[in-house]
């Protein structure tokens, strides 16, 4: 009786082993790889269609690594911006206190314009130059991160230089609009005071935010998004501050608030709002 039982058990074990070997051979022929050799996806396109691509890596791991960081022109521009920023900080850093006094103090407008030195204005102009390049890079970086890149067909070598030229064009248009609107008051010095206030605010914001801008543009990965938010927050705070100080400036000069509202909408909000809307609509983080 025991011999019969052992014989049946042995035949069952042999059958199971044969079945397992056959299943393993069939699975291997279908393209299923051993788990120890790493995952492969042979036959996926045939099963789900040619448009299917397997996702690799963790979501957000390669954020910002497709355009700017692989561009030699942008790399050289970042290095030049870093060196120039250090030069400006070392040479004109002592004027940051004067800029802060103009931005938050009560001594605004034409009275300040009469007291400003040549070296102070040179420091402001250098800060504005840093700001133009920095904010252009920030805008392009946000568009790179976005899911719907509106300039995907533009050559990478020309994208950032075109953004800088566009920023300069917007600044020129704003100055022309400022002069044109202030001519309605028959006082050309009002436009000069507004331009000094705008340049000072932008230069101070550039001094503060450029380190965050450099980290935002040069780094990759989801953690770099925080640097982008810091740079964007500084720019937004500078814009809000200028709007408030320009209102105080118009009040000091006894100019109608309606004319200030016209200036604010025409020369400030519409150009900057157009760019901000373009970036926001095409950026999804």
Residue count (the chain): 285
Q: What is the CA radius of gyration of the chain?
A: 31
For residue 41, give the nearest of 54, 28, 51 by alpha carbon: 54
Over residues 81-96, mean pLDDT? 92
- If you average pLDDT over every residue of the chain, what do you get? 74
The whole-angstrom separation of Cα 139 and Cα 164 is: 10
pLDDT band at 180 (very low <50, low <70, confident <90, very high): confident
Chain segment 127-150, per-residue pLDDT in tens: 999 999 999 888 888 877 765 555
Q: What is the pTM of this model?
A: 0.70
User: Which of the pair, 105 or 123, is modelled with greater confidence?
Assistant: 123
Please list the helix, strand and coil fractions of the chain in percent, rounded to the nearest 5, in that order: 75, 0, 25
Residues 6 or more apart whose CB falls under 8 angstroms from that of 211 comprise none
In this prediction, residue 240 carries a pLDDT of 93
61: pLDDT strictly greater than 90: no
pLDDT digits (tens, 9 = 90+) for 203-259: 999 999 999 999 998 887 777 788 989 999 999 999 999 999 888 888 888 888 889
- 23-54: per-residue pLDDT in tens? 444 444 444 444 444 444 444 344 444 444 43
Domain ranges of the chain: 72-281
Q: What is the DSSP letter of 34?
A: P
């Amino acid at each position: 009786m025991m011999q019969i039982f052992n014989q049946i058990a042995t035949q069952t074990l042999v059958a199971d082993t044969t079945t397992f070997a056959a299943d393993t051979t069939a699975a291997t022929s279908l393209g299923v790889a051993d788990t120890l050799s790493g995952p492969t996806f042979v036959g996926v396109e045939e099963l789900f269609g040619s448009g299917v691509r397997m996702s690799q890596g963790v979501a957000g791991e390669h954020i910002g690594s497709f355009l700017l960081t692989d561009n030699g022109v942008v790399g050289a521009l970042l290095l030049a911006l870093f060196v120039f920023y250090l030069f400006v900080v070392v040479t004109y850093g002592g004027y940051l206190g004067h800029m802060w006094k103009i931005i938050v103090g009560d001594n605004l407008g034409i009275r300040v314009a009469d007291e400003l030195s040549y070296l102070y204005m040179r420091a402001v102009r250098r800060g504005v130059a840093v700001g133009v390049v920095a904010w252009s890079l920030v805008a392009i970086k946000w568009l790179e991160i976005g899911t719907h890149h509106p300039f995907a067909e533009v050559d990478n070598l020309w994208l950032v230089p075109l953004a800088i030229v566009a920023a300069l064009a917007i600044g020129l248009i704003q100055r022309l609009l400022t002069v044109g609107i202030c001519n309605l008051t028959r006082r050309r010095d009002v436009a000069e005071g507004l331009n000094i206030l705008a340049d000072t605010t932008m230069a101070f914001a550039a001094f503060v935010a450029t380190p965050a801008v450099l980290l935002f543009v040069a780094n990759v990965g989801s953690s770099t998004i925080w640097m982008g938010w810091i740079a964007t927050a500084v720019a937004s705070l500078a814009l809000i501050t200028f709007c408030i100080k320009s209102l105080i400036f118009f009040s000091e000069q006894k100019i109608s608030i309606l004319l200030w509202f016209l200036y604010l909408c025409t020369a400030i909000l519409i150009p900057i709002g157009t760019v901000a809307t373009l970036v926001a609509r095409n950026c999804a983080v």
